[in-house]
Amino acid sequence: MADVAERAGVSRALVSIVFRDQPGASPRTRDRVLRIADEIGYRPDSAARLLARGRSRTLGVMFTVHQPFHADLVEGIYPEAERLGYDVLLSATAQGRGEAKAVEALLGHRCEAVILLGPDAQPADIDALGHRTVTVTVGRRVPHARVDSVHTAEGKGVRQAMEHLVELGHRRIVHIDGGRGPGSAERRRAYRAAMRRHGLEPELRVIPGDHTEQSGIETGRLLLSERDHGRPLPTAVLAGNDRCAMGLLMTLTQAGVDVPRDLSVVGYDDSHLSHLMPIGLTTVRQDAVLMSEYAVRFAVERLEGTAPEPREAVLDPKLTVRGTSGPPPEGVAAGNR
């Protein structure tokens, strides 16, 4: 700033006025100061200015690198944070970089609040974080923890998917479990309840998995191996999420299984990749933009004291029917297993 002031022939205080866009400098002086600053590559350090006032006005966001739905959430977080006058700092979890390290990086950069996208951490650890700083979880409910949470009504979404498949005539419906992934326990319970409600308990089957493409690939290989040994394929698979569904689809189509003629597949999330596939994935849609807006508002309102206690937002999911679901194969109708 001193260099700009010297070259412009004005005081450092006047340069500060220009960069704070405050009155007190003539248009000619303002233009000269900005031109010289541009010539020497000077940019005001807004972070340092905010910290000098005791605030960073920065929201930290923890996300997973290979999770497409997290990318959709991040895309929604930025405009809402900007609208409310906050910056966003991202920190990713990846192989060899766990959630704890990602969160500590955000706190080390003086983020005032953290938004956790689909955290896998133990409830006690999330609660402890909530006592250290304002914390919002997205996609996962953590009962009794001191955090705000935003998620969809998981059970309702699974019920919609199951009603769709049963109405098409499916009976052999398998669920690929999401393991410890966010929402997995609720989705698993809802699948079991739906199978019982429709009198399909003898066909109930939960295959262990997680929220990755590899989980879908491995399930596909398992089902194909069982078919080769005389066990018929299920007529439909409800995957734990879209990534898992995509891995399953890749394995099945490579083996010559026609989707949905031979087997229907339903995902969960409606990430941006789900409708870029050649036939489009039938999936349960979570409104990423609305979830992001709630998460940012919850964090900001806690920071600014307008909502002193944590809150929970439960949003409605919606089944989006595309090309991967259809009636079961001929001869596999209701009552004919």
Which pLDDT does position 108 carry in this prediction? Answer: 92
Mean pLDDT by 10 residues, the chain (337 residues): 86 81 83 85 64 76 93 96 96 93 95 96 96 96 95 97 98 96 94 98 97 96 97 97 96 96 96 82 96 98 92 97 94 51
Distance of CA 161 to the CA centre of its chain: 20
> Can you give the pTM of this predicted structure?
0.81
Task: Write the Ramachandran bin of 174: left for phi over 0, alpha for psi from -120 to 50, otherwise beta.
Answer: beta
Which pLDDT does position 7 carry in this prediction? Answer: 87
- Residue 41, CA distances (Å) to 4, 19, 34, 38, 289 in order: 10, 14, 10, 5, 36
pLDDT tens track for 20-59: 777 888 888 888 888 888 888 887 665 555 555 567 899 9
SS (H, E, C) 214-275: HHHHHHHHHHHHHHHCCCCCCCEEECCCHHHHHHHHHHHHHCCCCCCCCCEEEEEECCHHHH
Which pLDDT does position 38 carry in this prediction? Answer: 82
Q: How far apart are CA 312 and CA 35, in angstroms?
A: 49
Distance of CA 202 to the CA centre of its chain: 34
Nearest 10 degrees: Cα torsion 84, 86, 87, 89: -110
Strand partners, 265: 237
